[in-house]
Structure 1
Amino acid sequence: MGYPPGNEQVLLTIGDMALTQTHVIVPHGRYPLNGTVWAVQDSTQVHEGIPPVAIVLTIIFVWFCLLGLLFLLMKQRRYTGFVTISVTGQGLYHTVQLPPGPESGAWAAQVVSQARSLAASAPPAIA
């Protein structure tokens, strides 16, 4: 990823994308920030179930007392999928996929909101 010229500092980083006041910097180049369109898609799926260790402990302790059945109340959450952030603009299309998690979708929505705000306030590109 290239660095911003002169005194232009990076204001926001999203995966391998960096935003300055006037540009979006991606691994394959730098593009004007003005006029970019940002999107976020959360494909996270949550799977909840009884972990195998709870089943084993239940089998072991149910022989001693019925309190072993309490191990079946244990729950395990697994997150699958991904969160995708994409940006399009003049000659630009780039996506970043983030791992799933309980806060990934909310974080992605927040940084895309910030990126949209920066894009709306960016000066027009000088040809």
Structure 2
Amino acid sequence: MNQYPDPGPGEPWHQPDGQTPGWGLPPEQHHGGVIEPYGAPTGGYQPMGQQPPPGAEVPLGTVGEIAFSQSTVITPIGRFPIRGTVWTVNDMSRTERTTPTWAVVVAILVFWWTCLLGLLFLLVKEQKTTGHVQVSVQGHDKHYTTSILVTHPAVVGQIHQQVNYARNLA
């Protein structure tokens, strides 16, 4: 018994095969437009402003796909106690400082009219960060590694702070 009426042809959300919206999710994970994250326990959806149920641990931080609370590490492969875990961070990002193409073009064009003054445009530098940071947690016969894409050097510092906080709890 479907509580949502089937959309007619041409209506928004009309599915090619005539199915109702839901993108193939089980009905218990589809909450009227709000989709639970993959692997989330059913019924785990809580609208903003509501408190978690009593006795549930609130995550203190997350690092990529790894969340941790006062006493538990939560990963896609399962939960395990945080005490005795080993955290490892590998920074595989790199930051390059280069002269942007527009500055080179302007320096060449302006050089003909102002001689050496146009060369000042070559002092303009652009900073670009690429790569990822790999975070691993292991303990209690479980091991999980996640990679986090990095687009700014400050993100690397934030990841290190989160991992150091988790290490202090361990």
Q: Under a length normalisation based on structure 1, what TM-score does the superposition of the two structures give?
A: 0.81
Instruction: Please report how far the alpha carbon of residue 89 of structure 1 lies from its aligned counterpart in structure 2 after TM superposition.
Output: 0.9
Give the letter aligned to residue 42 of structure 1: D
Determine which of 128, 132, 136 is the counterpart of 1:78: 128
User: Matched residue pairs, number?
Assistant: 119
* Counterpart residue number, 1:123: none
Give the letter aligned to residue 130 of structure 2: T
8 Å contact kept, 2:73–2:80: yes
Q: Distance in 2 between matches of 1:117 and 1:56?
A: 51
Query: Which stretches of structure 1, 4 residues or more, deviate above 4 A after TM superposition?
Result: 1-5
Instruction: Please report how far the alpha carbon of residue 16 of structure 1 lies from its aligned counterpart in structure 2 after TM superposition.
Output: 1.4
The CA deviation string for residues 106-125 of structure 1, in whole angstroms up to 9 with x for no partner, is 22221111101111xxxxxx
Instruction: Please report how far the alpha carbon of residue 96 of structure 1 lies from its aligned counterpart in structure 2 after TM superposition.
Output: 2.0
Identical columns (%): 40
8 Å contact kept, 1:83–1:98: yes
Aligned-residue RMSD, C-alpha: 2.0
Give the letter aligned to residue 79 of structure 2: R
Which has the larger displacement, 45-54 or 102-111?
102-111
Instruction: Please report how far the alpha carbon of residue 38 of structure 1 lies from its aligned counterpart in structure 2 after TM superposition.
Output: 0.5
Unmatched tracts of structure 1, length 5 or more: 120-127
1:21-40 matches, within 5 Å, as 21-40=70-89
1:116 aligns with 2:167: yes
* Counterpart residue number, 1:53: 102
The CA deviation string for residues 26-74 of structure 1, in whole angstroms up to 9 with x for no partner, is 1121112121101111122222221111111111111221222111111
- Higher RCO (Cα < 8 Å, 6 or more apart): 1
Give the letter aligned to residue 74 of structure 1: V
Q: Under a length normalisation based on structure 2, what TM-score does the superposition of the two structures give?
A: 0.63
Structure showing greater radius of gyration is 2
Unmatched tracts of structure 2, length 5 or more: 1-39, 45-51
